[in-house]
Every structure is written in structure tokens, then in C-alpha cells.
Amino acid sequence: MESVVKSLDVGKLPLEERQKLAFDHSTPVDVLVKLAGDRNWIIRAGIAENHSTPISILVTLANDDIEVVREYVARNLSTPLNVLVKLAGDEDRDVCRSVASNPNTPSKVLHKLYRNLVRKDELDVEFAEVFVKKNILEQTEVLALIALYGQTVADTAAQSVVVAKNSLLEKVLTEYDYTAQRMSEEKSTGLVI
């Protein structure tokens, strides 16, 4: 198959075939390189997500006009640090979320992304969970996120390594659970305790 694919003009293949090649990690690198310039953004997104895609192509696709393509570059575990840093400043929230979720994104970049989102008032519960899971925040920042987003972030923090190291945070989470349980009981029984 590899020799057949190499001999074809991949740009003339039907969309479905190009899409299969773009997302297939066993597609030869020279075919991925040819497909990286495809007019169809779905093909470029497949190339951006493919772990076999050469770094030079990921760098190019990080500048794509289509947000989904940049998002897939940010998700790719092969994406180099300098590209993750650049994408952390992207205007598209999903691109930034993918940078935050990439396990190769360094803590320093994550913390800068966190501060930018807070400054622009664009932090949401999904971002908060990612940042808490990554253990990059100070105790006061985690407590503020629990106050803002409630049980979801509290549960994430409870599973975090930060809690094991921090008795104050553990006490706050215990009190939060107790308060949430009381409120739930009050709602279900109609009694105020």
C-alpha cells in the first residue's frame, strides 16, 4: 500500500481517502507533508493531530487560519515547546484549552495562560479543572476557584496531590463537602437545619 500511496497524486484522491491518510499514524511522512497543504481544513486538522507529522509541518499548521487546525496542533504530543508557548496566547479558547491539556506544556506556560485567562475574565470551570489537576496553582488560587466553581473543582482538588501536602486546603474541602451535603438535605426535606 505504501508504494501505491506514494505514487499517487494524493491531492486528487477523494476527500474520504485523504482524510483516512491524514489521521493514520502509519501514513508515510512524505504523504503527510503533501497533505499538509490541502485546501480542506479537515485534512489539515488530521495532519495536525497525527503524531507522525514532522515538526516543521506542525510549526506551519500552528499558523493556520482555521482554529480547529491550531487546536489539533496544540493537542499533539509531538508539538515543540516554542509552538505550545505561541499557541498559549491564541485568541481561540479551544486552542488555549488544548495547550492547557497537553501533558508536555510546562508549568510556567500553564501559569501564564491561567493568569491571562483570569485577567481577561475568560476562565471557566473546564479550564479551572485542568489547572487544578496540573497542580500549578497556589493554595489561595485553588480556594478561589472552589469558591467560584463549586463542587466540580472541589472534587478535582480533592484528588489532587496539592491536598495531600496542604492541611488547610483539606480542611476547606471537608467543610465544603459538609456544607454541600447540608444544603442538599435541606432541599430534599424542605427543612432548614
Same domain, 42 and 88: yes
Residue 44 falls inside a structural domain: yes
User: How many C-beta atoms lie closer than 10 Å to residue 103's C-beta?
Assistant: 6
Q: How far apart are CA 12 and CA 94, in angstroms?
A: 31
| pLDDT, tens digit, 9 for 90 and up, residues 142-161 | 888 888 888 888 888 877 75
Same domain, 148 and 97: no
Domain edge (last residue) among 76, 105, 134: 105
pTM: 0.76
Give me the residue label for grid cell 479551572: 128
By residue range, what is the domain housing residue 97? 1-105
What per-residue confidence (pLDDT) applies to 136?
85
Same domain, 141 and 54: no
| pLDDT, tens digit, 9 for 90 and up, residues 46-58 | 999 999 999 999 9
Same domain, 75 and 140: no
Buried residues in 25-63 as b, exposed as e (16+ CB within 10 A): eebbeebbbbbbebeeebbbbbbbbbeebbeebbebbbe
What per-residue confidence (pLDDT) applies to 179?
53
Residue 23 falls inside a structural domain: yes
Same domain, 79 and 132: no
Binning pLDDT at 50, 70 and 90, where does residue 93 land?
very high
Same domain, 82 and 132: no
CATH of the domain at 10: 1.25.10.10
Residue 41 falls inside a structural domain: yes
Same domain, 81 and 1: yes
Q: How far apart are CA 28 and CA 162, in angstroms?
A: 43
- Give the CA-trace dihedral at 56, 59, 63, 69, to 10 degrees: 90
Q: How many domains does the chain have?
A: 2
What per-residue confidence (pLDDT) applies to 173?
58
